[in-house]
Amino acid sequence: KQEVTQIPAALSVPEGENLVLNCSFTDSAIYNLQWFRQDPGKGLTSLLLIQSSQREQTSGRLNASLDKSSGRSTLYIAASQPGDSATYLCAVRPGANFGNEKLTFGTGTRLTIIP
């Protein structure tokens, strides 16, 4: 059974700092990994998706890396801003064959950027 862990559970950093969020998963046979952002009481906003064959994806100040063999992904946020404050969730989708489509989520890292 796939298990996804995100450490730390909460993180506070001063505005302007670069930071890294971590995600680990127990079964390396994944199809892709997706990072989401969730504001309090809201739904999920997709940030980045990395296919199993890729090593990283970038969007603006965000960079996500994937090391499938070691079961790890990181989300790097550059030059953090107060608007980045939210919970960040990673989720993995299992292998390439149809039949098991569910995303398995971590419990998230609650990020607070201090102005």
Q: Which residues bind another protein (CB under 8 A)?
A: 4, 31-32, 34, 36, 41-46, 49, 51, 89, 91, 93, 96-108
Closest by alpha carbon to 79, among 60, 53, 101? 60
Task: Pick the closer one to another protein by CB: 24 or 104.
Answer: 104
Task: Pick the closer one to another protein by CB: 3 or 17.
Answer: 3
Half-sphere exposure of 96 (CA within 13 A, CB side): 3
For residue 77, the minimal CB distance to another protein (Å) is 19
Task: Pick the closer one to another protein by CB: 46 or 58.
Answer: 46
Q: Which residues lie below 8 Å from residue 16, measured CB to CB, with a gap of 6+? A: 79, 80
Instruction: Report how far residue 78's alpha carbon sits from residue 57's, in angstroms, rounded to the nearest whole number.
Output: 14
For residue 15, the minimal CB distance to another protein (Å) is 26
